[in-house]
Structure formats: C-alpha cells, structure tokens
C-alpha cells in the first residue's frame, strides 16, 4: 500500500468526538464538547429559514455575502473600535475551524515557527505541522494560568512567523489583559511577526473581565488576523459560519487558501448571521450574563461534589482539579469513568498539551440549561461520596 499522509495517518479522532460518542453510548449528560443545549435566538433561525425560501441557494461570493462582510466590519467598529474594510478586509469561512486553517496556510512556509500557548485547542498543532511549520510552545500554569513573559520572549526567534493566540481561552477561560497583550505586541514588532487571533469567545466574557482584541493595540492592525465564530456568538454551533478580519494584504492571501479548500459557505446562514450581528446591545450582554449564571451554578455544584474548580473569566468552560479523589488512572481514564459509571461526560485536559500534561485536570462545559447542570452535579456528588468506587 502506498504511504498516506504520515501526520494525518498517525493522528487520532479528536477528543471532542470521542467523548460525545461515549456520552451517547452511556446516556451520559454531555458536559464535554462545547455546544449549548438550547436553540439560538428564534429570530436569527427564522432569518435563515426565510432566506432559504428567498432565492438564496446558489453559490455565495468567494469572500462572503456583501451584507455579512458589512455586518462583520460594523461589529468590529461597534464592539472594539476597529476599522475594517468590508470589501477587502473580511473573509467568511466554514466556521472558525476553517478560518484557523486558511489563516495558517496563508501565512506559513515550511520551516517557519509559530508561537502557541498551552493548553491549546486541538486543531492548532496538527495544522501547523501539516504545513511544515514548527510550533514553539509556551505554557500557562495552573491554577492562575499566568502567561510567563520570559518564556514567551524566549519562544520568539529569527524563524518566528506568527503567534497563534486564543483569548478568551479554551480550555482555561483566561482572558488576556491589556498588559499581557502589550508585551505580545512589542514582541511581534520586534520580530516582525504576524498574529492569528482566535477570538471565537469574544462575546462570552464575564464581568469584571473584559475582552480586548490584540488588533486594537497600536501597530497591530497591519499584522493581525482576527477570527470570530457565529456558532459561539449566536449559540448555533452547527451553523459553522466564521469570519476573518484583517488588513487586505493578508486577507487576500488567506482567501487564496479558502478558495481551494471550501470556496464559499451557505448563503442563507450568512444572511441570518448578518442580521444577528446587528442585534441590540441587550442581546450581547444578555448572552454573557446568562452564561455567567451557568458558570456559577456549575462551579458551586462541582465544589459541593468535591472538585477544586479553577476560576474562569470567559468561554463555555471551567476546569476542575480532581486530584483530591485519589483516582489512580490518567485524566482520560477518569473522563471515561465519569461518562460510563457516573453518567457525566467531560473533556480530559491532556489532549490540549504538546507533551507532558499536568495530572488531575478535567474540563466541564457549562453552556447547558441550569437544570441539566444541577442534575450533572448531583450525579457527581453522589459519586464523590463513594471514593472507593471512584478510585476503582
């Protein structure tokens, strides 16, 4: 048999799919893969349905419907004070997943280095490596997930092409501060490097934390590609509509990657997302407030069940430390145990690391109805009262 692509042939099914399958198999409550268990706003879903009946079923333009590109540019200005050219500075993609792929493909040549921050979202490393580039990783350390500035500076060098930055951060829920972003901006200028900013959770931030795009810092607009996701912003993760904003010189090359990978995304969904981005401020603040209440509910329930819950400022996720249980196996085994025996699916943290992951940490998604979170915490609490079973 001819050799297939070595990297892909050697890689495994993503942990999100593995844990969702396990949840389905055991009828477990799925607090693993990050997706809300309630529908997104009815008016946005209606706008998509109307667009299907309104002649919106042929190819959309390569870079996206003009109305969505204008809405993305307007949202950049409204929320973050950013000036983006709606015609040449926006690219609509098949979710942020495709956006990440095409941004990396547009910037990287084999041999380039990309600074990444661990723990990291699962597509980053495989895509960087597939493009023949090398990840240079800097680690956030639990429990406060501080960004170690010396190590960050040391990760930059003559071959650095870009940093791949995720704020608000999956899986830790960390929101980078202005000071941290300022250090990153200085390093990018010093090394003449680009930034790809995965900001899919830009609207899922809990006061007093505030999201700030790196692109808004002085000198960054010309070297930053900023990625958003309608799936997250409108609680419609299955829609897979993402958007890249950036300077036309960069977006043009990223578009060359997009035209070869996907070409365009469903126009009815694009039209509905354009409508959604124009919703009033109450929608966006309500989304974050609703999620903050769910975060608090999960954190309280997990604490009662015996976990040490780490603070989270944004995203769908909270990390819990389970070392107190004295469980003998790995985090993956613990995750399997919880899904199978306790009826709660989670995501173990080790797949978010390049190597040598910290022990005893597991991720819970709290983008679920309060009664579902309470039921899950009740199950965990019962199991926590049986340490021998947990340690089995």
Instruction: By CB under 6 A, name the binding residues for ligand PMP.
Output: 95-97, 121, 166, 170, 198, 200, 229, 231, 237, 240, 242
Work out what residue 33 binds among ligand GLN, ligand PMP, none; the CB cut-off runs from 5 to 8 Å by kind: ligand GLN
Q: Which of 99, 305 has the CB closer to ligand PMP?
A: 99
| Shortest Cβ 34–ligand GLN spacing (Å) | 3
Structure tokens, 5:
């692509």
End-to-end C-alpha distance for the chain, whole angstroms: 43
Binder of ligand GLN out of 18, 28, 31, 33 (CB under 6 A)? 33
Cα distance between residue 22 and residue 28, in whole Å? 8
Instruction: Using alpha carbons, select from 379, 337, 392, 388 the residue that is nearest to residue 362.
Output: 337
CA-CA distances (angstroms) from residue 289 to 107, 161, 205, 282, 385? 37, 37, 9, 10, 32
Look at residues 201, 211, 208, 124 and name the one whose alpha carbon lies nearest to residue 366: 201
Q: By CB neighbour count within 10 A (0-12 exposed, 13-18 middle, 19+ buried), where does 122 fall?
A: middle
Looking at beta carbons only, is 63 or 172 nearer to ligand GLN? 172
Work out the burial of residue 130: count CB atoms within 10 Å of its CB; fewer than 13 is exposed, 13-18 middle, 19 or more buried.
middle
Sign of the CA dihedral running 288, 292, 294, 298: positive
Least Å distance, CB 37 to ligand PMP, is 15
- Binding partner of residue 112 among ligand PMP, ligand GLN, none, CB cut-off 5 to 8 Å per kind: none
Structure tokens at 30: 């799925």
Distance between CA 161 and CA 293 in Å, rounded?
40
Residue 156 beta carbon to ligand PMP: minimum distance, rounded to whole angstroms = 22
| Residue closer to ligand GLN (CB basis): 317 or 322 | 317
Q: Which of 11, 16, 79, 126 binds ligand GLN (CB under 6 A)?
A: 16
Helices and strands, counts by H and E, the chain: 15, 13
CB of 164 to ligand PMP, least distance (A): 10
d(CA 39, CA 238): 10
Using the minimum distance from each CB to ligand GLN, give the nearer residue, 119 or 384. 119
Residue closer to ligand GLN, measured from CB, 152 or 320: 320
Q: Give the integer Cα–Cα distance in Å for 104 and 115.
A: 12
The least distance separating ligand GLN from the CB of residue 204, rounded to whole angstroms, comes to: 12
Cβ closest to ligand GLN, residue 67 vs residue 122: 122
Q: Work out how close the CB of 121 gets to ligand GLN at its nearest, in angstroms, rounded to a whole number.
A: 7
Told to check if 337 binds ligand GLN by CB under 6 A, we report no
The listed partner (ligand PMP, ligand GLN, none) that binds 168, CB under 5 to 8 Å by sort, is: none
Return d(Cα 96, Cα 311) in angstroms, integer.
25
Question: Rounded to an integer, what distance in angstroms lies between the CA atom of residue 2 and that of residue 7?
Answer: 15
Using CB under 6 A as the binding rule, whether residue 233 contacts ligand GLN is answered as: no
| 198, interface contact from ligand PMP, ligand GLN, none, CB < 5-8 Å by kind | ligand PMP
Instruction: Decide whether 113 or 198 has the Cβ nearer to ligand PMP.
Output: 198
Q: Does 34 bind ligand GLN (CB under 6 A)?
A: yes
Q: Quick check: 170 binds ligand GLN (CB under 6 A)?
A: yes
Task: Give residues in contact with ligand GLN (CB under 6 A).
Answer: 14, 16, 33-34, 170
């Amino acid at each position: 048999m001819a050799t297939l692509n070595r990297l892909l042939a050697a890689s495994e099914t993503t942990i999100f799919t593995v844990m969702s399958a396990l949840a389905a198999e055991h009828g477990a409550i799925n607090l693993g893969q990050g997706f809300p268990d309630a529908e997104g706003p009815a008016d946005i879903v209606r706008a998509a349905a109307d667009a299907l009946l309104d002649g919106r079923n042929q190819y959309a333009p390569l870079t996206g419907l003009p109305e969505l590109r204008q809405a993305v540019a307007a949202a950049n200005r409204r929320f973050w004070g950013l000036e983006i050219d709606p015609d040449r500075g926006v690219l609509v993609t098949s979710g942020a997943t495709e956006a990440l792929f095409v941004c990396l493909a547009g910037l990287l040549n084999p041999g380039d280095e990309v600074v990444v921050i661990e723990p990291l979202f699962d597509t980053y490393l495989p895509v960087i490596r597939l493009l023949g580039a090398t990840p240079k990783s800097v680690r956030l350390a639990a429990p406060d997930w501080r960004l170690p500035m010396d190590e960050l500076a040391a990760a930059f060098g003559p071959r650095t092409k870009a940093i791949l930055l995720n704020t608000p951060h999956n899986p830790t829920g960390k929101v980078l501060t202005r000071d941290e972003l300022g250090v990153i901006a200085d390093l990018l200028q010093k090394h003449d490097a680009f930034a790809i900013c995965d900001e899919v959770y830009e609207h899922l931030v809990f006061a007093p934390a505030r999201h700030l795009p790196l692109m808004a810092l002085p000198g960054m607009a010309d070297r930053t590609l900023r990625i958003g996701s309608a799936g997250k912003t409108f609680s419609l993760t299955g829609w897979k509509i993402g958007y890249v904003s950036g300077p036309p010189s960069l977006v043009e090359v990223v578009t060359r990657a997009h035209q070869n990978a996907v070409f365009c995304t469903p126009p009815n969904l694009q039209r509905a997302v354009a409508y959604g981005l124009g919703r009033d401020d109450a929608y966006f603040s309500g989304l974050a407030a609703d999620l903050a209440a769910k975060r608090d509910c999960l954190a309280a329930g997990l604490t009662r069940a015996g976990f040490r819950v780490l603070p989270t400022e944004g995203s769908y996720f909270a990390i819990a430390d389970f070392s107190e249980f004295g469980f003998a196996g790995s985090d993956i085994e613990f995750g399997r145990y919880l899904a199978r025996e306790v009826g709660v699916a989670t995501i173990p943290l080790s797949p978010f690391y390049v190597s040598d992951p910290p022990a005893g940490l597991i991720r819970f998604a709290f983008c679920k109805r309060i009664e579902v979170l309470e039921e899950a915490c009740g199950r965990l609490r019962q199991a926590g009262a049986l340490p021998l079973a947990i340690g089995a």
